Chain A
Amino acid sequence: MTARWFSAAADDELTIFERSKPGRRAFAPPELDVPERPLDELLPASRRRAQPPRLPEVAEPEIVRHYNRLSKRNFDLDTGFYPLGSCTMKYNPKLHERVAALPGHAKLHPLQDPARAQGALLLMWRLQEALAEISGLPHVSLQPSAGSHGELTGVLLTRAFHEDRGERRTKVLTPDTAHGTNPATVTMAGYEVVKVGTDEHGNVDLEDLRAKATEDVACLMLTNPSTLGLFETGIEEIERIVHGVGATLYYDGANLNAIMGICRPGDMGFDIVHFNLHKSFTQPHGGGGPGAGPVAVADRIEPFLPRPQVVRRESAPANGAGRVHYDLDYDRPKSIGRLRGFQGNYGVFVRAYAYIRSLGASGLREVSEVAVLNANYLLARLRRAGVLEYLPAAYDRLCMHEFALSGAPMKRELQIKTLDLAKRLLDHGVHPPTVYFPLIVDEALLIEPTETETRETLDRFAELVVQILREARGDPELARQAPHSTPVRRLDEAAAARRPVVRQAL
């Protein structure tokens, strides 16, 4: 058991509401500088609440201490290795926080006249151009708020595209390896999900795809590299099959970090792509957001993109040269409409743009090269250390930026499950990989080291897994009861779901 990285003060477990005492306060209001009018005159009693909301009553020092202590009960990416597969937990550059906080960005009102928000619109336009180049698809909407929101946008774009051609299609194909957001999105967009299988090499089963790609299929949603961390070697044939029945090909950009500057979804024949700016483009994950999920599309999908669209306009030449300005274009008669308020998560765009500007073309390519190098190196290290005897690779191939292992032999031979291994890692100050996903791998463990980790960190992780397996051979209970050194130990999730307590009784 290693050093505690968290706070263990005795009263850590109190909530901010439990720290409350009547009469304490942190807020001092500004002066009332206008003539005071009776409340009843301004707001009829019938529309007022009977008593003030029971918010905490705590002075500033205690609020700050409370949340600082809470923070120390979180594990974070700046403290330790976080190889959480499919989440791309790469370093979030500090510069981005500084530039996003500049008042010209942070205090810009979303309804400001576009003529007075030219810096923001130029930034958005340049980001659109960069994302178009990276994806190989020419038109970009920055509006969606996260990956799953981008997915919903993409499927609604598909619907609009087909309806415009007078076609009514009812099904969307998703591989059995897909993120849960894919099938959930399909349902939410009003289609029926049809699952496509995976072949013995970890690729989409082309026979199954051919059988299921019928004329009533609207779209295939594909993650490439897949959630197994494998590049679809049959992507060219997949493209022919899907387009052959008039369906669109949708690229889930969750794994874009593997291929930036190496190959492009547009060149593979994808019609619609979403990006996770909180994965490949370093927006901090924030413990569950914010993110952003822009989409890029082919020419034939462009008319349907959400409103408004950031555009570059050139005004009539005066004295020889036209004046360029940037604007929000609402005049898009075939648009699917809005998917959210205002123009999107602009603060996220600032960070993503700063990242692209910092790295440039060769830097982005290097990101993907090192992400893939690190993943393959870690896989090789684990293999050399004998770990794969207990945790074999789900598919014996070179991987891309992540790889899936199966803990089934470990469970059988060492009597510890993937969950136990994950929980034991917590005692060593390492965030576990993604567990029990992809669903098609028994006792799955999905490991994504990312490009920002050093070789030494990868070596240490490999040694740590060896150590845990060795320890389990002697005493499996250590892992089964793990974690031992965290602020709380294993929590009763079943009880929480059976009788949900989702707020504090006040």
Chain B
Amino acid sequence: MTRYTSVTDDDLREMLAEIGVDSVDDLFADIPGALRLERQLALDPGRSEQEVYDELRALAQANVSTEDEISFLGGGMYDHYIPAMIDSIVQRSEFLTPYTPYQPEISQGGLQAMFEYQTAISELTGLPVSNASVYEGPSAVGAAGYVAKLEKGRRRFVVSPALHPHSRETLATMAGGWGMEVVQASLAGGLTELPELDEDVSAVIVQQPNFFGVVEDLEPLAATAHAAGALFICACDPLPLALLKPPGECGADIAVGEGQSLGNRLDFGGPSFGFFAATEALMRRVPGRIAGETKDVDGRRGFVLTLQTREQHIRRERATSNICTAQALNALAGVIYLSWLGRAGIVELVELMMQRTAYARTRLAELEGVSLLHDQPVIREFAIRLDAPLERVIASCREHGINPGYPVGRDYPELTDCLLVAITERRTRAQIDRLVEVLGAAVAANRRSTEVKA
């Protein structure tokens, strides 16, 4: 017997008798003999709880986490502080273990949390219709592309080169199935510049702030997209929206994004959640679950999954998406986090990050052999160019317990000497000063030229 099953030998005998078969094997009689596995699976034997714990702990210790170094990594996921209350709430069985709330009478907790989440996402994005979550940021961009395909039926997407590389690639993967093409716009001084758009474009997709941390000027981009009859889709980072003009107010038809920075763990990339918000006009094309308010037979307020005729379990091949299981628990963490920050707190937090980011950017730019890739406004991330081999600088920083950032050359071959540096509220002035010191020394020791700043 495994520790998660309860069938004793007596149970087994009596249960088989009740069924009217002689053995458990008889229950599998429908499986053709030639297909039966006549051996055990080649897996190690099961182990005790403490042994499994020890193994998983050893694996964890073979990773260098944000607790083990001073990390300036960003690029789509960020080392934010997660308040203790989130763990205590999302670990409650009542939130952790239920299925999607198909039985609303016994799922009001989850449904109301979805409704609260949707309200918060609508407020941040400035768009009236939010769903209850999609998988994560880049696939949310793909999902938005699919809505644009259904809505416009034209054969091209135009995307900013500063849309996250994973988002661009995910969209391209999905668009392959639709016979659609993804065309890249250009960048000028860190900002997206659109080409002339013809009538073949279903949607223009940009990111706010963009992959290099730059705050885009969305309104003219939206106007250009709309003038060509295309949808304007904005992938956005939810925390900076505390300060930024909401994409909905800038003309976005759809705002999507990665929700990890709202109270979710890094988890080596997931699970987090993707958010998806749209205009009223697109409401019936939005993918996935949406919680809606209604009343019960006694007139009490309650919540249900609504507009289900969009969804796969009802509409099947005519559904607006195939999504079923999404990321409800992660979205719950998101709305708890936003409630924890609150109206004043979210602004304070983002302003703090912006001040520290500005400080780090100025200090790094003063170093010999370090320059800014652009000087556009940023919130909590920016790119620098080093006059030294990046790998050697990174290696040298690591020796001092610092991970200086993400080498963007992996995604942008023309930028092999550039580093993307993220400054969350976890990075103190002392840590930033240490980065400046260590990185400055590493660059100085590995300079390519001898140029000196004026």
The answer to whether A342 and B324 touch (CB under 8 A), given A122-B59, A287-B101, is no
Min CB distance B103 to A, Å, is 6
**C-beta contact mask, B40-59 vs A, less than 8 Å → 1, else 0?**
11111111010011011111
The answer to whether A15 and B31 touch (CB under 8 A), given A104-B59, A108-B267, A426-B106, is no
Once the chains bind, are B135 and A340 in contact (CB under 8 Å)? yes
The answer to whether A347 and B329 touch (CB under 8 A), given A53-B123, A93-B4, A502-B291, is no
**Chain B residues with CB below 8 A from A397, complex form:** 30
Once the chains bind, are A350 and B109 in contact (CB under 8 Å)? no
Q: Does A467 contact B (CB under 8 A)?
A: no
Min CB distance A386 to B, Å, is 15
Min CB distance B11 to A, Å, is 5
Once the chains bind, are B428 and A33 in contact (CB under 8 Å)? yes
**C-beta contact mask, B268-303 vs A, less than 8 Å → 1, else 0?**
111101000000000100000111111111101111
Once the chains bind, are A32 and B170 in contact (CB under 8 Å)? no
Q: Which of A44, A52, A285, A361 has the most CB of B within 10 A?
A: A52
Q: Does B132 contact A (CB under 8 A)?
A: yes
Q: Identify which of B58, B91, B289 contacts A97 (C-beta below 8 A).
A: B91
Once the chains bind, are B290 and A119 in contact (CB under 8 Å)? no
Once the chains bind, are B89 and A68 in contact (CB under 8 Å)? yes
Once the chains bind, are B93 and A487 in contact (CB under 8 Å)? no
- Rounded to whole angstroms, the CA-CA distance of A147 and B173 in the bound complex is 18
- Rounded to whole angstroms, the CA-CA distance of A487 and B103 in the bound complex is 12
Q: Does B110 contact A (CB under 8 A)?
A: yes
**C-beta contact mask, B84-96 vs A, less than 8 Å → 1, else 0?**
0101110111111
Once the chains bind, are B169 and A338 in contact (CB under 8 Å)? yes
Once the chains bind, are B342 and A27 in contact (CB under 8 Å)? yes
Once the chains bind, are B298 and A489 in contact (CB under 8 Å)? yes
Min CB distance A308 to B, Å, is 10
Once the chains bind, are A289 and B296 in contact (CB under 8 Å)? no
**Chain A residues with CB below 8 A from B217, complex form:** 46-47
Q: Which residue of A lies closest to B6 (CB)?
A: A454
B152-198 residues with Cβ-Cβ distance < 8 A to A are: 164, 166-167, 169-170, 172-174, 176-179
For A, the interface residue count at a CB cutoff of 8 angstroms equals 206
Q: Which residue of B lies closest to A356 (CB)?
A: B43
- Rounded to whole angstroms, the CA-CA distance of A303 and B288 in the bound complex is 31
Once the chains bind, are B295 and A492 in contact (CB under 8 Å)? yes
Q: Which of A179, A268, A338, A481 has the most CB of B within 10 A?
A: A338
Min CB distance A47 to B, Å, is 5
**Chain A residues with CB below 8 A from B55, complex form:** 357
- Rounded to whole angstroms, the CA-CA distance of A259 and B35 in the bound complex is 11
For B, the interface residue count at a CB cutoff of 8 angstroms equals 206
The answer to whether A341 and B316 touch (CB under 8 A), given A29-B348, A451-B5, A502-B306, is no
Once the chains bind, are B118 and A503 in contact (CB under 8 Å)? yes
Once the chains bind, are A119 and B96 in contact (CB under 8 Å)? no
Q: Which of B73-81, B364-372, B435-443 contacts A (4 or more CB under 8 A)?
A: B73-81
Q: Does B266 contact A (CB under 8 A)?
A: yes
Q: Which of A130, A291, A359 has the most CB of B within 10 A?
A: A359
**Chain B residues with CB below 8 A from A489, complex form:** 105, 296-298, 300
Once the chains bind, are B328 and A286 in contact (CB under 8 Å)? yes
Q: Which of A75-83, A207-215, A315-323 contacts B (4 or more CB under 8 A)?
A: A75-83
Q: Which of A15, A89, A236, A306 has the most CB of B within 10 A?
A: A15
Q: Does B387 contact A (CB under 8 A)?
A: no
Q: Does B64 contact A (CB under 8 A)?
A: yes
Q: Does A488 contact B (CB under 8 A)?
A: yes
A250-288 residues with Cβ-Cβ distance < 8 A to B are: 259-264, 267-268, 276, 278, 284-288
**Chain A residues with CB below 8 A from B27, complex form:** 369, 372-373, 376, 398
**Chain B residues with CB below 8 A from A84, complex form:** 99, 102
Once the chains bind, are A149 and B135 in contact (CB under 8 Å)? yes
Once the chains bind, are A491 and B296 in contact (CB under 8 Å)? yes
Q: Which 7 A-B pairs have the closest CB atoms?
A: A104-B60, A342-B269, A119-B62, A286-B329, A110-B269, A360-B46, A288-B328
With A48-B245, A105-B60, A380-B19 known, 16 other A-B pairs at CB within 8 A are A15-B115, A17-B116, A33-B430, A34-B355, A55-B123, A73-B112, A74-B109, A75-B103, A156-B177, A181-B312, A339-B174, A341-B166, A347-B271, A423-B105, A486-B105, A492-B295
A sample of 30 cross-chain residue pairs with beta-carbon separation below 8 angstroms, ordered by A number, consists of A26-B341, A52-B343, A82-B98, A84-B102, A101-B87, A104-B65, A107-B67, A108-B63, A109-B66, A109-B73, A110-B77, A110-B269, A120-B59, A123-B56, A146-B326, A187-B318, A187-B322, A233-B32, A260-B41, A262-B37, A289-B326, A290-B270, A340-B136, A346-B270, A398-B27, A398-B30, A426-B103, A452-B4, A491-B104, A496-B306
